[in-house]
C-alpha cells in the first residue's frame, strides 16, 4: 500500500495494535500519539476525513479485501474506529518505532513525568490501578491465601478470603478476573444462582475498560457450563444446539504472553544496570528510572497472566524476578531491604501453600544469599513472622534464619540443579555456620565443599569469577 496522507501509516499501526486487544481506537489516543510525534495542532475534521478516506481506499485495494475499516454512522471524522478481519491475517508493527515508543511513553505515564504521557494507557492488563511494589505484594499475598484454599477444595474459605481484596485499588481486569473466580467457586459449591450472578457481572463490564478481551468470553462460556452442571439431564438438549464455540480473537497468545513480558522485564533490568555501570551510553535508552518502572510494569502484566491461568510455577518465578529486580536496584536507591525480603518471603510461600517450584532450587539460593548479606539489618527490623498475613511470614523450615533452610536447600539441589548451584548452596550453608554454629559443623561443611571443587576442576574458577572467591576454602 502506498501511503499518500501524513499519519496514515501511524493510524494503521495503532488500529492494528488495538485490534490485538479487540478494542476500538479512540480519537484521544490517536491525537496524543500524533502530538508526541510532532503534530503541533489537533487534526481538523477535513484532515481526518482525508486520512480515513485514503486509508479505507488503500485497504480496499488489497486482494480479497481481508481487512475492513469500520466506524459508526457519521463517525468517520470523530471515531472511534475499528479494524474488522474477514479472513485470518498476520501483521507486524515495526517494534523499533511504534511499539517501543508507546511502551516507553506508557511506562512514564505511571511516574508522573509530564502531562502528555500520562494519558497514554499501558496496552496490557495490569493488577492494580496504582504503581507500587508494596501494594502489589499485599494484593498477591491476599490472592495466595484464597487460591491456596481453592486448591485444597475449600471453596467457602476461598470465597470468604477474596472479599477483603476488593477494597484494594484493583485494575478493572483483575476485578473482573476475581469475579470469574467467585463464579467458579460458587458453581463448585452448587450455588448456581450466585454463580450466574457473578458471570453476568463480568458480561456487564465495560469492554473499553478491559485490556484482556478473553474475560467476557470466558464468562459467556461459564454460563453454559453452570446451566449444564445445575441440570445436565435437561440442559444438554439446549446446549447441544446453542452453546457457541469461542470466537476467534486477536488477543494475546497465552502460551507466550507471560514469558514475553517476563523477558522484557529482564531486558529492561539488564539495560538499566548497563546504564548505571556505564557499560551502555546513557543517551541510547530511556533513563534508569524509566527502565525501572518499565521492568515492573512488564512483571506485573506477566503476573496477571500467570494468576489468570493459575500457573503457580510461573507465578512463583515471576514473583522471584520482582524480588531479584528490586535487589538489583537496591544500590541505586530504588528499593529497600525490607521490601526485597518481603517479596522473597512471598516467593517461598508459593512453594509452601501451592507446592510450586519443585523443579528448581534458585529460590533457596537467592533468598539465602540475600539474608546472609543483610542479616543484621533484617534481624533488627523483622523477626521471623508467625502470621500468614505478615509480609515477612515464612514457615520456620523455609526461613533463612534457621539451619534447616540451608540443609533443605542442599537436599533439593542434589536432585534438580547443576554443580554450580550445589556449590552456591554449600557456600551459603558454610557462611551461616561461620556466623552461628560451631567449628565441628564448619569443618564438615568445608570438607563437602572441597570434595565438590576437586571433582569438578573448572568450578573454582567459575565461582571466583562470579564473586564467591572470598567464601571458598583455601586450596591444599
C-alpha cell of residue 414:
542434589
Q: What is the DSSP letter of 25?
A: B
Q: Where is mean pLDDT largest: 40-54, 296-310, 342-356, 435-449?
A: 296-310
Q: How far is CA 402 from CA 140, 346, 396, 407, 431, in A?
A: 26, 18, 7, 9, 12
Burial 103-133 (b: 16+ CB within 10 A, else e): bbbbbbbbeebeeebbebebbbbbbbeebeb
Q: What is the dihedral of CA 349, 352, 358, 362, to 10 degrees?
A: 30
Quick count: other Cβ atoms within 10 Å of Cβ 373?
A: 14
Q: How far apart are CA 408 and CA 178, in angstroms?
A: 35
Cβ proximity of 221 and 186 under 8 Å: no
What are the phi and psi torsion angles at 389 (to 5°)? -85, -10
Largest CA distance in the chain: 86
Dihedral sign, Cα of residue 35, residue 37, residue 41, residue 43? negative
- Pairing label, strands 67-71, 81-85: antiparallel
- Measure CA 27 to chain center: 29
Residue 474's SS3 state is coil
Whether 107 has a pLDDT exceeding 70, the answer reads: no
Cβ proximity of 188 and 391 under 8 Å: no
Q: Name the least confident of 233-237, 333-337, 472-476.
A: 472-476
* Confidence band of 106 (pLDDT split at 50, 70, 90): very low
Q: How far apart are CA 32 and CA 266, in angstroms?
A: 29
Q: How far is CA 110 from CA 106, 113, 132, 292, in A?
A: 7, 8, 10, 12
DSSP string, 322-391: HHHHHHHTGGGTSS-HHHHHHHHHHHHHHHHHH---TT--HHHHHHHHHHHHSHHHHHHH-PPB-STTST
Whether 198 has a pLDDT exceeding 50, the answer reads: yes
* Confidence band of 79 (pLDDT split at 50, 70, 90): confident
Whether 449 has a pLDDT exceeding 70, the answer reads: yes
Cβ proximity of 86 and 69 under 8 Å: no
Can you state the percent helix, strand and coil of the chain, rounding each to 5?
65, 5, 30
Whether 306 has a pLDDT exceeding 60, the answer reads: yes
Quick count: other Cβ atoms within 10 Å of Cβ 259?
A: 15
- What pTM did the predictor assign? 0.71
Q: What is the mean pLDDT of the chain?
A: 83
Q: How far apart are CA 400 and CA 449, in angstroms?
A: 20
C-alpha cell of residue 309:
491461568
Residue 39's SS3 state is coil
Q: What is the pLDDT of residue 101?
A: 34
Cβ proximity of 288 and 296 under 8 Å: no
Whether 61 has a pLDDT exceeding 60, the answer reads: yes
Whether 173 has a pLDDT exceeding 90, the answer reads: yes
pLDDT, tens digit (0-9, with 9 covering 90-100), for 263-299: 999 999 999 988 887 766 655 556 888 899 999 999 9
Q: Name the least confident of 81-85, 355-359, 430-434, 445-449.
A: 355-359
Q: At what angle do helices 172-188 and 133-151 cross, to 10 degrees?
A: 10
Q: Which of these, 62, 109, 53, lies nearest to 89 by C-alpha position?
A: 62
Which residues on adjacent β-strands are paired with residue 82? 70
Q: How confident is the model over 379-394, as a mean pLDDT?
A: 64
Q: How far apart are CA 446 and CA 460, in angstroms?
A: 14
Q: What is the pLDDT of residue 85?
A: 85
Q: What is the pLDDT of residue 171?
A: 94
Query: Is pLDDT larger for residue 347 or for residue 78?
Result: 347
DSSP string, 66-117: -EEEEE-TT-TTT--EEEEESS-------IIIIIHHHHHHHHHHTTT--TTG
Residue 393's SS3 state is strand
Q: How far apart are CA 399 and CA 391, in angstroms?
A: 13
Whether 358 has a pLDDT exceeding 80, the answer reads: no
Residue 128's SS3 state is strand
Q: How confident is the model over 45-67, as a mean pLDDT?
A: 86
Query: Is pLDDT larger for residue 19 or for residue 199?
Result: 199
Task: Count how many residues are written for the chain.
Answer: 476
Amino acid at each position: 500500500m502506498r501511503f499518500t496522507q501524513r499519519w496514515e501509516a501511524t493510524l494503521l499501526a495503532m488500529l492494528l495494535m488495538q485490534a490485538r486487544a479487540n478494542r476500538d481506537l479512540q480519537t484521544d489516543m490517536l491525537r496524543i500519539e500524533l502530538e508526541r510525534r510532532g503534530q503541533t495542532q489537533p487534526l481538523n475534521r477535513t484532515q481526518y476525513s482525508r486520512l480515513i478516506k485514503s486509508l479505507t481506499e488503500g485497504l480496499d485495494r488489497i486482494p480479497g479485501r481481508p481487512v475492513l475499516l469500520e466506524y459508526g454512522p457519521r463517525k468517520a471524522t470523530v471515531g472511534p474506529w475499528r479494524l474488522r478481519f474477514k479472513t485470518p491475517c498476520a501483521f507486524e508493527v515495526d517494534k523499533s518505532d511504534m511499539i517501543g515508543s508507546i511502551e516507553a511513553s506508557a511506562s512514564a505515564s505511571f511516574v508522573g513525568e509530564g502531562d502528555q504521557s500520562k494519558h497514554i494507557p499501558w496496552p496490557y492488563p495490569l493488577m492494580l490501578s496504582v504503581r507500587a511494589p508494596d501494594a502489589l505484594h499485599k494484593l498477591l499475598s491476599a490472592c495466595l491465601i484464597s487460591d491456596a484454599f481453592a486448591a485444597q477444595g475449600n471453596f467457602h474459605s476461598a470465597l470468604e478470603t477474596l472479599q477483603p481484596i476488593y477494597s484494594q485499588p484493583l485494575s478493572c481486569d483483575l476485578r473482573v478476573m476475581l469475579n470469574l473466580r467467585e463464579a467458579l467457586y460458587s458453581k463448585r459449591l452448587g450455588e448456581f444462582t450466585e454463580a450466574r450472578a457473578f458471570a453476568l457481572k463480568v458480561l456487564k463490564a465495560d469492554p473499553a475498560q478491559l485490556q484482556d478481551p478473553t474475560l467476557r468470553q470466558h464468562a459467556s462460556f461459564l454460563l453454559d457450563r453452570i446451566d449444564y452442571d445445575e441440570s445436565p439431564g435437561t440442559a444438554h438438549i439446549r446446549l447441544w444446539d446453542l452453546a457457541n464455540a469461542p470466537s476467534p480473537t486477536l488477543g494475546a497468545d497465552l502460551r507466550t504472553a507471560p514469558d514475553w513480558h517476563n523477558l522484557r522485564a529482564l531486558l529492561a533490568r539488564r539495560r538499566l544496570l548497563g546504564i548505571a555501570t556505564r557499560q551502555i551510553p546513557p543517551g541510547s535508552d530511556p533513563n534508569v528510572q524509566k527502565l525501572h518502572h518499565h521492568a515492573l510494569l512488564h512483571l506485573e502484566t506477566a503476573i496477571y497472566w500467570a494468576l489468570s491461568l493459575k500457573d503457580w510455577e510461573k507465578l512463583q518465578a515471576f514473583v522471584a524476578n520482582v524480588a531479584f529486580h528490586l535487589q538489583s536496584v537496591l544500590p541505586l536507591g530504588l528499593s529497600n531491604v525490607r521490601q526485597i525480603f518481603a517479596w522473597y518471603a512471598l516467593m517461598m510461600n508459593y512453594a509452601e501453600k501451592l507446592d510450586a517450584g519443585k523443579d528448581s532450587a534458585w529460590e533457596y539460593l537467592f533468598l539465602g544469599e540475600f539474608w546472609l548479606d543483610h542479616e543484621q539489618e533484617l534481624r533488627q527490623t523483622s523477626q521471623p513472622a508467625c502470621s500468614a498475613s505478615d509480609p515477612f511470614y515464612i514457615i520456620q523450615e523455609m526461613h533463612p534464619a534457621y539451619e534447616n533452610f540451608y540443609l533443605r536447600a542442599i537436599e533439593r539441589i542434589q536432585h534438580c540443579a547443576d554443580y554450580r548451584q550445589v556449590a552456591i548452596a554449600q557456600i551459603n550453608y558454610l557462611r551461616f555456620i561461620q556466623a552461628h554454629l560451631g567449628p565441628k559443623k564448619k569443618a564438615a561443611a568445608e570438607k563437602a565443599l572441597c570434595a565438590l571443587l576437586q571433582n569438578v576442576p573448572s568450578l573454582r574458577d567459575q565461582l571466583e569469577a562470579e564473586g564467591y572467591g572470598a567464601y571458598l576454602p583455601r586450596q591444599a
